[in-house]
Structures are given as C-alpha cells and as structure tokens.
Amino acid sequence: MNETCPPISSKSAKGMNHTAVCELFRKAGFGNIKEEAIPDIGMFGKNKIETVSQVEINGETGYKIRKPIRVDASILIKYHIKKNK
C-alpha cells in the first residue's frame, strides 16, 4: 500500500484556512479527506471563521509529520464557522 508523510501537523494547521489545508493533503496524495464545520464563532471572532481548529489522522491529532502513513488514512479537518442563532 502506498504511504506518504503528512504535509502539516495539526498544531501548524490550526488557524489556517481549511480549504488550503485540505489542498495540502490532496497534493500530498491523500484521498480520504473529510471536513467538519464547528459552529462556535460569535460576533467577535470573525477573523477565525473558516480557520482550522484541528486535523485528525485516523482519529489522532498527535501524528508525526515525518512518519509515513497510508494514503487511504482517514483525514478529518475540523474548522470554525459562525454560531447558529
């Protein structure tokens, strides 16, 4: 099975635009990428909207970027959106 190293750590991805992080994983060869919107931003957090909260690989946020993993691993990118009223 094909393996490659993750392009970015969860810690480094935090605060980046979720679309950009998703593209980094796609370009690295990962195909099983899902995104999850977290409605947690109030009226004073506009600069955090659509930024990454965390990235999970196979349910783990503490993955190593220098350790190859399977390209079919489950990637979950959680990101902030505006709260529902």
Q: What is the pLDDT of residue 85?
A: 67
- pLDDT confidence of residue 52: 97
pLDDT tens profile 20-70: 999 999 999 999 999 999 999 988 888 899 999 999 999 999 999 999 999
- pLDDT tops 80 at residue 3: yes
78 lies in which domain range?
3-82
Q: CATH number of the domain that 18 lies in?
A: 3.30.10.20
pLDDT, residue 46, reads: 84
Strands 75-82 and 3-4, how do they pair? unpaired
pLDDT the model gives residue 54: 96
| Count of domains for the chain | 1
pLDDT beyond 80 at 1: no
